[in-house]
Amino acid sequence: MSKYIELTQDTIEETVKEGVALVDFWAPWCGPCRMIAPVIEQLAEEFEGKAKICKVNTEEEQDLTVKYGIRSIPTILFFKDGEIVDQLIGATNKAALEDKLNSLL
């Protein structure tokens, strides 16, 4: 079972306000998004209790997509204590995501 957190307009601010969070903006039709989905699930297990690994379906949460200026997916935002501290656009590898998360912890 996946351990990542599905975010909505109602839950995102509360979820990312403390600690470190990775938020993956994706869509079901996006090939690169599907490519990194298993990596996101692995990170959710490996960082459980250390960082929040989250996903936002841009098809279902269009207001969030606009709010965070997402123009291309996948886009991964990194939050620390409620502030966006970095972002990656496009498919990336697990090591790059792990390094970024570890640098924020």
Active site residues per annotation: 30, 33
Beta bridge partners of 87: 77
Instruction: Say which DSSP state 75 is in.
Output: E
Q: CA 51, 20, 6, 39 torsion: positive or negative?
A: negative
Q: How many CB atoms lie within 10 A of CB 32?
A: 14
| Distance in angstroms (rounded) separating the CA atoms of residues 16 and 42 | 20
